[in-house]
Structure 1
Amino acid sequence: MPPLPRPIPSSPRWLPNRAVARSAQDKLGMPAHVRALPVPLDTRHVAGGPAVTTQLVPSILYTPSMSTLVCVPILVHDEQQARADAMAARNLGADLVEFRVDTFYERLVDESEEPWKPVLRVVRESELPCIVTCRPEWEGGSYIGPEEPRADLFERLLVEPERPRYIDVELDAFRRSPGLLGRLRAAKAGSSTGIMVSIHDFDGRPHNLSRLLLELRDLEIADVTKIAIRARSLRDNLELFEILRQADTPTIALGMGVFGTPSRVLAPRYNALLTFASLRDESATAPGQLTISELLTRHRFRSISRTTGLYGVIGWPVAHSMSPAVHSAGFEAVEHDAVYLPLPVAGDEDPESSYASFKASLTALIDDDHLDFRGASVTLPHKSNLVRLGIEMGWDVEPFARACNAANTLTRLEEQWHVTNTDAPAAVDLLEREIGPVRDKRVLVLGAGGVARAIVLELLRRGACIGLCNRSQDRANKLIEGASVGVRALQTQVPGSIERTTPTRFARAHALINCTPVGMVGGPDETGLPIPLEQLQRIEGLSLVQDTVYNPPETSLLKAAASLGLATLDGVEMFVAQACEQFRIWTGHKAPASLYETIVRESLASKD
């Protein structure tokens, strides 16, 4: 893609009106990246405008070192609600707001001969600098009225004394209304309001994106370029980052949908003008938009710079993973300059298709010279894909991960990539904490998936006597065969033993470990038991029941075990233990385990 050409004007990043300036100075103090200076608003600062008298206003000129701003979009229903939401956005830390007046203005057009006046009042009374957008239905908005009143609104917003910092006009609007460009040029001649020209595609990346950007440049009216496309994979973020990297004027480039989160959070790394964050979950104006609390608190947006590294959790789905919350808090606790994000990579029932998707996405992240991707947690369905890719790429794949064909941790250390498994050691360490060394102890394992495979191998390596119980005999036999091969590959001197069994046949056991998704929120049987209660009661010598499911922390199985007077270990402890080991590998620091556990338990409790 060719670099974005420089526009003719040099424009300020944002310059609020006097009422907003007073509000910001009197009520808030200026944000850290805004300075109140006596600056003449002459042609050096206002594109195309004449020299005017000096005013004491906050002024920011666009430079490559500017902090990326946080803008909260507000769907305007009425003036009072707009004012209240702008104040709420200010209180939560927003730098500016976008008033989306789509349906509000459409209603005013039907009811008033001067429909722009209420919009101007909203602008005048805003607690923050603002963008005004009236998005038509044909560009993903809700305005379905004629174009002429919309053009009237743009003109008024450019020439009235109390103006927004920007108006957002779609590139396609200039095609649909040939006279619009001339009208806005004339209105803009003496205005301090900038024009943001935007490109949206809610289906995917436009095949002609480069041509659209050149067309936008050729208008010679855009003070800000905005691109918002639906990201179809993580790789789409990399192209958006490249657009930002090459831009020499204020630019916004965002990916919508679950795959677009990196573009929203990493905007400061690439000097984007701003990123959008919703006031509330239900008030998002685009798919995948984070709330301002998520952006500023969980993802520590204000701390992100050009040196910030990237970690994440790779899987499908990953939207509800606890990993971003705990690792972000851990990075903050030790002042590790990195961000940790959900990195969804679609899985597929076809293993080869799933592997191809995983390989394409992960290698793209690794190969991007400007991203500083440092590592990842890898979860279902890609744990075996990570081992396969690591072997194929010649990375350092630890023997245990090779043996169980499952890994959950990827790390870059000294320009070499390392693949490890922290799941199984964490689970068995916890078990031994409660019942002592597992050598020669009998452990009943329920399930034959990836989690069971890794835990079984770790138990065998430590000398346990394992009974494997699974509904599918074929899957159980394959696991046993693979575990036997794996333990030989690890050259364990005195390995344990394993047999396929049933709870009734495996009459004695010291511990039981559930490795099935039964009891998990969103799983196949949220309230079910992986083993009938009467069979659980009949197991002689049973002292502990461990569940790998962490949501909910107290599964139906653990409730049943507690009712029988048995000790229990929930999945939260295992999750925290494996996450702590990942943190140590990545940062060289001991993880704040108690903080991790508090975050997970409080988060899960809040969802009850």
Structure 2
Amino acid sequence: FHDFRGTKKLDETLEKMVAYPADFYKVVSTATTLADNVTMIKFLARQGDRHSLVGMCMGEQGIISRVLGVRAGSVFTFASAIAGEETAPGQVTAQELRNVYRIERVDVATRVYGVAGDPVAHSLSPAIMNAAFRRENVNAVYLALHAKTLKDLLTCVREIPIHGISVTMPYKEAILHHLDNTDSHTTKIGACNTVVRAQDGNLYGFNTDASGIVRPLERRLNTLEGARILVIGAGGAARAAVFGLKERGSEVYILNRTAGPAKKLAHQARARIVKRADLKKLAFDVIINATPVGMGNTRDTPLQDKEINSRYVFDMIYDPGETRFLKLAKERGAQVIPGIEMFAHQAARQFEIWTGKPAPWDEMLRVVLLALQERSNRSTSSK
């Protein structure tokens, strides 16, 4: 049985099917919400002991049931032999189920984590986090949670249950109202990118973006104390950079297209504002691009070459791996820090918060660089 429109009346459908003797009964629905996975998993748990069931949800939002359905009561699941030969919406390859999600090791003790946002289809987080769990022998699985509403996400967190979330857009600020407590970084920045579900069900929020910015710099500079750092932007990423750097004692300057947000951030963090016209006269230890300018295949850049007077240039954008801004910085003699390092470092900090173990940083960086290269190769071959 396949329902291509939703997930409903599963028990009624099965009761009709069992009137006909069969080795297996396949009940497949379509997930239009994350909570539909909860419905499917509870159905499998109820009926799995009575019948030889195969059940899952189709669609991008059905990944939870495809990975967790087997432990709930589904005899097996479905996957495509190779990418591009999927036979149902949301189906993943057998290689991905085995190598990324380690489906053959998923059991009742497996802890569930995920990246939640809208959209999340192209997120690199499942690759990097599942690799870290594998390397450190952590019994956990990390899924992409396409949450169209925050209410839907929180229902899934409670019911599956999900033990931790990497929160992405558009929920980094909205989720604050649903947390039982937050760390100081989250409070200052006004955004949460990491959630822990405690044993009592309470939700605790953290922000690891600041770690993602500070750690790559600390690997290169002897100290951030007194370092002159220019942050371009005044949004969420910039706030994480400014507060993280101020905490390390850096002398932080802010450049933004609009004055209002820059003034507010500068006042809150006790940072300084600079005008673009003054850049050619100023020198910095580090320039950080905390804006989306340069993302994708665009040739846009937040600064012109003559405005780049810095020992290091750090671009938070990680796709493409080398932005035009970083190329200009190299031409100016600066050492560059690609955004993928921020991504990997903030993910490493999330791993540490969730597991209490040191993160396998080198492995996480290796995996995410490989994933980016494969994505680039696919993009090139499709042109």
User: TM above 0.5, one fold?
Assistant: yes
Question: Which of the numbers 114, 135, 144 marks the counterpart of 1:342?
Answer: 144
Deviations 1:206-250 (A, max 9, x none): 4x5454333334x34344322222211111100000110001211
Q: 1:344 to 1:436 in 2, by over 3 A?
A: same
Question: Which of the numbers 8, 11, 15 marks the counterpart of 1:214?
Answer: 15
Counterpart for residue 602 of structure 1: 370
Question: In structure 2, what residue type is equivalent to 1:437?
Answer: T
Question: Which of the numbers 241, 244, 250 marks the counterpart of 2:41?
Answer: 241
Counterpart for residue 154 of structure 2: 363
User: Which aligned pairs between 1:295-310 and structure 2 lie closer than 5 A?
Assistant: 295-310=97-112
Alignment RMSD (CA, Å): 2.1
Question: In structure 1, what residue type is equivalent to 2:327?
Answer: K
Q: Matches of 1:482 and 1:364 in 2, distance apart?
A: 34
User: Which aligned pairs between 1:198-347 and structure 2 lie closer than 5 A?
Assistant: 198=1, 200-206=2-8, 208-217=9-18, 219-247=19-47, 248-346=50-148
Q: Is residue 527 from structure 1 mapped to residue 324 from structure 2 by the alignment?
A: no
TM-score relative to the length of structure 2: 0.90
Deviations 1:2-30 (A, max 9, x none): xxxxxxxxxxxxxxxxxxxxxxxxxxxxx
How many residues align? The count is 372
User: Which aligned pairs between 1:110-129 and structure 2 lie closer than 5 A?
Assistant: none
How far apart are residue 507 of structure 1 and its match?
Answer: 3.3
Question: In structure 1, what residue type is equivalent to 2:333?
Answer: G
How far apart are residue 577 of structure 1 and its match?
Answer: 1.2
Question: In structure 2, what residue type is equivalent to 1:458?
Answer: G
Highest relative contact order (Cα 8 Å, sep 6+), 1 or 2?
A: 2
How far apart are residue 482 of structure 1 and its match?
Answer: 4.7
Deviations 1:34-81 (A, max 9, x none): xxxxxxxxxxxxxxxxxxxxxxxxxxxxxxxxxxxxxxxxxxxxxxxx
The 8 Å contact of residues 212 and 345 in structure 2, kept in 1 or not, is answered as: yes
User: Which aligned pairs between 1:175-574 and structure 2 lie closer than 5 A?
Assistant: 198=1, 200-206=2-8, 208-217=9-18, 219-247=19-47, 248-346=50-148, 357-358=149-150, 360-368=151-159, 371-390=160-179, 395-415=180-200, 416-471=202-257, 473=258, 476-482=259-265, 484-485=267-268, 487=269, 496-499=270-273, 501-502=275-276, 504-505=278-279, 507-508=281-282, 509-521=284-296, 526-536=298-308, 539=309, 542-574=310-342
Secondary structure of 2:89's match? coil
The 8 Å contact of residues 546 and 569 in structure 1, kept in 2 or not, is answered as: yes
Secondary structure of 1:419's match? strand
Higher alpha-carbon Rg: 1
How far apart are residue 389 of structure 1 and its match?
Answer: 2.0
The 8 Å contact of residues 113 and 162 in structure 2, kept in 1 or not, is answered as: yes
How far apart are residue 396 of structure 1 and its match?
Answer: 2.1
How far apart are residue 447 of structure 1 and its match?
Answer: 2.0
Secondary structure of 1:282's match? coil
Deviations 1:147-174 (A, max 9, x none): xxxxxxxxxxxxxxxxxxxxxxxxxxxx
Question: In structure 2, what residue type is equivalent to 1:271?
Answer: G
How far apart are residue 268 of structure 1 and its match?
Answer: 2.1
Deviations 1:62-105 (A, max 9, x none): xxxxxxxxxxxxxxxxxxxxxxxxxxxxxxxxxxxxxxxxxxxx
The 8 Å contact of residues 444 and 512 in structure 1, kept in 2 or not, is answered as: yes
Question: In structure 1, what residue type is equivalent to 2:267?
Answer: S
Q: Matches of 1:428 and 1:560 in 2, distance apart?
A: 23
The 8 Å contact of residues 204 and 232 in structure 1, kept in 2 or not, is answered as: yes
Q: Matches of 1:323 and 1:454 in 2, distance apart?
A: 19
The 8 Å contact of residues 519 and 555 in structure 1, kept in 2 or not, is answered as: yes
Q: Matches of 2:161 and 2:178 in 1, distance apart?
A: 20
How far apart are residue 601 of structure 1 and its match?
Answer: 1.2
Q: Matches of 2:78 and 2:263 in 1, distance apart?
A: 51
Deviations 1:243-284 (A, max 9, x none): 100012111221111101011111222120111100112110
Secondary structure of 2:74's match? coil
Secondary structure of 2:27's match? strand
Secondary structure of 1:201's match? coil
Q: Matches of 1:257 and 1:398 in 2, distance apart?
A: 35
Deviations 1:287-309 (A, max 9, x none): 11000110110110111112211
Q: 1:249 to 1:506 in 2, by over 3 A?
A: farther
Secondary structure of 2:163's match? strand
Q: Matches of 2:312 and 2:261 in 1, distance apart?
A: 27
Q: 1:503 to 1:547 in 2, by over 3 A?
A: farther
Counterpart for residue 381 of structure 2: none
> Structure 1: 5+ residue runs without aligned partners?
1-197, 347-356, 488-495
> Structure 2: 5+ residue runs without aligned partners?
377-383
Q: Matches of 1:318 and 1:506 in 2, distance apart?
A: 39
Secondary structure of 1:383's match? coil
Q: Matches of 1:562 and 1:384 in 2, distance apart?
A: 35
